[in-house]
A = this chain, B = another copy of it.
Amino acid sequence: MAVRTIEVRERVMARNNEIAAEVRSRLAEYGVTAINLVSSPGSGKTTLLERTLAVLGEEMGIAIITGDVQTQNDADRLAAYTPRVVNAVVTNGACHLDALQVLTAVDEIDLNRTRLLFIENVGNLVCPASWDLGEKEMIVLFAVTEGEDKPLKYPKMFQNARRVVMTKIDLLPHVPFDMDRAVANALSVNPALEVIHVSALTGQGLDRWFDFLRAAARPVSTSG
């Protein structure tokens, strides 16, 4: 029975990859950069997006797709920070977004007014790692209130990501968290990872995060 499940899953995954390619090509056509934001529940994805919308929302024409298992709480929170529509996808129990959900949500977005698209995945360190959503890159958030061994325990997520954002660094004086060890663990599973440190609460490190976003969404020059 286990084998049968895997067979079905592989066909579903192959179809997902086809749809992700469709999303990717649609976004490229409009020059939109998509970032797939993943983490444990409670690592601070929505709070970081609130701060990002408040500062860069207008400047960068940010659009948002949020995935949630049951509610649209995150979408409601984010809607307070942007005049644009926040696209909520309720996964009805699934532990990740899939490309078809993103494609459907993208249909509702005015891509002409968008340079940067955040896809806030379901809070989960396992399932989202396998599902291509058509993004340019996956970014994983890692809070200092979690264990330093998260990258070792969930390596696929850290291998597939290009950047890791260490969040809630304002809490470092109050938690038994060894940042050097955490970063070393992350680099041990993916030596190419770029690490950014932020506190969405105090604002520490956010300038570097914003600079990265501006660079990520810069159109590739086509002139010689």
Contact = CB atoms under 8 A, between A and B. Distances in A.
Interface in A67-120: 68-71, 73-74, 93-95
A126 interface: yes
Interface string A141-156: 0010111011011111
Contacts of A156: 70, 93
Contacts of A71: 149, 152-153
State how many copies of this chain the complex holds.
2
Contacts of A170: 174
Contacts of A176: 201
Contacts of A224: none
A115 to B, nearest CB: 28
A40 interface: yes
Interface string A135-167: 000000001011101101111100000000000
